[in-house]
Amino acid sequence: MAAGAKPLIDPAHFPADDGGAYLAPQVLVDVTHDMRVMREESFGPVVGIMKVKDDAEAIALMNDSDYGLTASIWTKDADAAAEIGNHLETGTIFMNRADYLDPALVWTGTKDTGRGPVQPWLSGPDPAQILPSEKGDEMNLRANWSYPTAIKFGAGRISELAEQAQAVGIKRPLLVTDKALAGLPITARALDILDAAGLGRAVFSDVDPNPNEGNMDAGIAVYKAGGHDGVICFGGGSALDLGKMIALMAGQTISVWDLEDIGDWWTRADAGKIAPIIAVPTTAGTGSEVGRAGVLTNSQTHKKKIIFHPKLMPAVTICDPELTVGMPKFITAGTGMDAFAHCLEAYCSPFYHPMSQGIALEGLRLVNEYLPRAYHTPDDLEARAQMMSAAAMGATAFQKGLGAIHSLSHPVGAVYGNHHGTTNAVVMPMVLDFNRPAIETLLGRAADYLGIKGGFDGFRARVIDLRAELGIPQNLSAMGSNAPVWTS
């Protein structure tokens, strides 16, 4: 009140009824957003009332704070409540109730802990009554993360694409996707969202499965001709990587090959000329949506190169599992095994990074449990969400290092154009055998964590079974990579 807030309740009307600590309830008006009472949790019966012009302003004000693990929305319009709730960065949301110490409340962390795991939406007096939603129970798998970048995770969050683009200063985005995705409904919807917000619907889709500098140069030409100021990478690993390359190189004067991930080569780039990036993965495997690099194939040497710069980390990543539901089964399998390979090699890497090792181990568990479900039941949104998490976890973990699986699959893909994740899965058992003396104990521990009996042998057997279940070819020849090229 010393800052100018006006109280509406006379404390004398609420005397203490015992000798304990007591704070009389209070309602404050004439408050402003910068007052502590409006930005911090009081843990007392105090509420401040502010007037706003519309729902959008209310959402912006509520999200602009460090606290607020729960929220209550008071309205007769359930659809309006759901729309507001989809944009609130809070743990649990009630409709027309605000229970003190309700068991559904989230009591740890800051507001971006994510929706409460018990009951994300509650309305009326019955705690079991869930607010109706087209998305159903998968709303539990919804969160805002800040590691390793700002991640908006959950079904339906593609609806925030324009909002997030504007938040990072993009006014004329170029959406980069691949040829197969360009004509699909999920891409049309993304473009409609951008267009409705006045951001246009510019697309570049000349993206090969293993993108090269020719694709990049064509994309840069479109970027410059359209006067764009940011890139939305929309698709699988190919589109994500090439979109990053366009954002990186559109303002540079040096060759992209001068920025290969070697030593401090990244410092050669003019960081101020790198365009802001938003990543929207539509597969669950590559993890490029949370990485600071992209893979580009040199069309002259047929060698894949990793191009690195810290600013290649997307400013915002939108992980919406609904976008992965339409993946063909072989893409679900290949990308899923790519995530498994990332986690496996990061876990086994000899370099010291216990944080990455822990992330990799949990990623292995998620793929082991949820990839078969996503493969056999494409509309299983829980499985799709868990695989999307595993993909991001694998790419986060492999800063600890990769290994021979990728050392083999990169040149195979560069020469034959094979799907990267599928190639990883093909060579995986052979690499496990080769590395057994160094990784047997580690994989024994991993097998225990995954609930696999038999230590290393049990883990290897599970890899073989998983490959068979997903229709992965048994060897390189079976996938069309014939020996004469290797011996020439």
* Average model confidence (pLDDT) across the chain: 84
Mean local confidence (pLDDT), 311-328: 94
- Window from 34-48, 85-99, 288-302, 406-420 with minimum mean pLDDT: 85-99
- Window from 94-103, 263-272, 357-366 with minimum mean pLDDT: 94-103
Mean local confidence (pLDDT), 323-339: 93
Task: Indicate if the pLDDT at residue 323 is higher than 60.
Answer: yes
Task: Indicate if the pLDDT at residue 17 is higher than 80.
Answer: no
Please list, in sequence order, all residues whose beta carbon lies within 8 angstroms of the beta carbon of residue 348, skipping any fewer than 6 positions away. Answer: 403, 435, 438, 439, 442, 443
Q: How confident is the model at residue 98 (pLDDT cuts 50, 70, 90)?
A: low
Rounded to whole angstroms, what are the CA distances from 288 to 132, 140, 241? Answer: 34, 25, 7
**CB-count exposure of residue 401 (10 Å: 0-12, 13-18, 19+):** middle
Unique residue bearing structure tokens 């764009």: 228
Q: How confident is the model at residue 459 (pLDDT cuts 50, 70, 90)?
A: very high
Task: Indicate if the pLDDT at residue 487 is higher than 80.
Answer: no
Q: How confident is the model at residue 241 (pLDDT cuts 50, 70, 90)?
A: very high
* pLDDT number for residue 365: 97
Task: Indicate if the pLDDT at residue 29 is higher than 90.
Answer: no
Q: How confident is the model at residue 130 (pLDDT cuts 50, 70, 90)?
A: very low
Query: What is the token pair recorded at 50?
Result: 């502010």
Which residue did the predictor score with more confidence, 189 or 58?
189
Task: Indicate if the pLDDT at residue 133 is higher than 70.
Answer: no
Task: Indicate if the pLDDT at residue 465 is higher than 80.
Answer: yes
List of domains in the chain: 6-141 (3.40.309.10), 157-322 (3.40.50.1970), 328-487 (1.20.1090.10)
CA dist., res. 95 & res. 352, Å (int): 47
User: Tens digits of per-residue pLDDT, 383-400?
Assistant: 999 999 999 999 999 888
Mean local confidence (pLDDT), 127-154: 64
Tally of CB atoms within 10 A around 99: 14
Give kind and range of the element (H or E) at residue 330.
helix 329-348
Ranges 28-37, 124-133, 189-198, most confident = 189-198
Task: Indicate if the pLDDT at residue 205 is higher than 90.
Answer: yes
CA dist., res. 402 & res. 293, Å (int): 14
Q: Following DSSP, what letter does each residue of 403-431 receive, concatenated?
A: -HHHHHHHHHHHHH---HHHHHHHHHHHH
> How, if at all, do strands 303-308 and 293-298 pair?
antiparallel
- Window from 49-53, 356-360, 475-479 with minimum mean pLDDT: 475-479
Mean local confidence (pLDDT), 194-210: 95
* pLDDT number for residue 172: 97
| Dihedral angle, C-alpha 237, 284, 336, 452, nearest 10 ° | 140
Tally of CB atoms within 10 A around 25: 12
